[in-house]
Amino acid sequence: MIQKVLEEAVEYARAHIHTGEVATYIPELAKGNPEHLGAYIMTMQGGCFHAGDWQRQFTMQSVSKTITLILALKLAGEQEVFSRIGVEPTGDAFNSIVRLETKTHFPLNPMINAGAIAASGICVERTCNALEEFLDLARKLCGNPDICIDHKVYISEKTVGMRNRSMAYMMQGEGVIKCDAEDAVDLYFKMCSTLANTRDLAHYAMILANNGQNPLTGEVLIEKWMMRIIKTLMVTCGTYDGSGEFAIRVGMPAKSGVGGGIMACAENNMGIATFGPALNRKGNSVGGLLIMERLSQNLGLHLFSGNVFYK
């Protein structure tokens, strides 16, 4: 049943991806093919289902912000992290700088660029091996020891990332970032440039669905107190300023990225990931959103639907 529903969802979404466009503000992302579309589901019993261009690699971009936050929480603890980063939705674009100047010098949440840069700064402050520790965590969460950085995308982001540098220097000036702003933003660019495919992200989402424990090995990768934070922020802030609509239409904790990826976790059930580089105006994959919505409807995955999750 799951395979049939997944294939139908991908084909349905494929008819609508022409309404989106690839991200162009990062030159390497502008090379993406807007026709690509794929999805992967991994159940906690080990079932794997896939359709479309599920094997194609893409950079995590903002999906990596969840891993950055987990690492920051591991290194510094909840009190320190949230003394410098808020937890409220913004209603603004993910790369907006306006709130840092007009409302608070602290970023409003860790799922926007400013918040993820601040979290990166905390990681740099706490360890001299921040990138290695990030990659080690990403490899375990994704179940892929070959997870690595796409150097071309990293250089592309570093070359054009002046807005992100502006945020970093502003936060350094206000004491939110206590390391060198360039070190914080450089780590952020590398984290965003981490390569994955839908299988990798579905594996990560499956662990989130199982409250931080890999159900296939029994290894606990994320402590329960961190899971409460991560999944709550994914619901309220995970798909940029489209998070409210996503919560209504799909109803699963999720995180998207402008590389075209979206991952979502169906509680106690499965991890889902989609890839489609054609984005809407809010930076979310057009095809990915539609796939997630169809899967939620047809498999009864919405947190608040009252349906029994499909097993």
Which positions are annotated as active-site residues?
62, 65, 188, 240, 258
- Cα–Cα separations (whole angstroms), residue 30 to 19, 25, 53, 105, 278: 16, 7, 18, 32, 10
Where do the H-state alpha helices sit in 128-268? 130-142, 151-160, 162-173, 181-192, 198-209, 224-237, 243-249
Backbone angles phi, psi at 247, to 5 degrees: -60, -35
Q: How far apart are CA 268 and CA 159, in angstroms?
A: 42
Which among 26, 280, 47 is positioned nearest to 152, based on CA atoms? 26
Q: Which amino acid is at 217?
A: T
User: What CA–CA distances, in Å, run from 60 to 65, 198, 248?
Assistant: 9, 10, 24
φ, ψ dihedrals at 212, nearest 5°? 95, -5
Q: Are 170 and 105 in contact (CB under 8 A)?
A: yes
User: 46-84 burial string, b = 16+ CB within 10 Å, else e?
Assistant: eeebbbbbbebebbbbbbbbbbbbbbbbbbbeeeebbeb
Round to whole Å and give the CA distance between 235 and 56.
26
Crossing angle of helices 130-142/113-126, nearest 10°? 110
Give CA separation, 224 vs 50, 87, 237, 272, in Å: 29, 18, 20, 21
HSE-up of residue 102 (Cα within 13 Å, Cβ side): 6
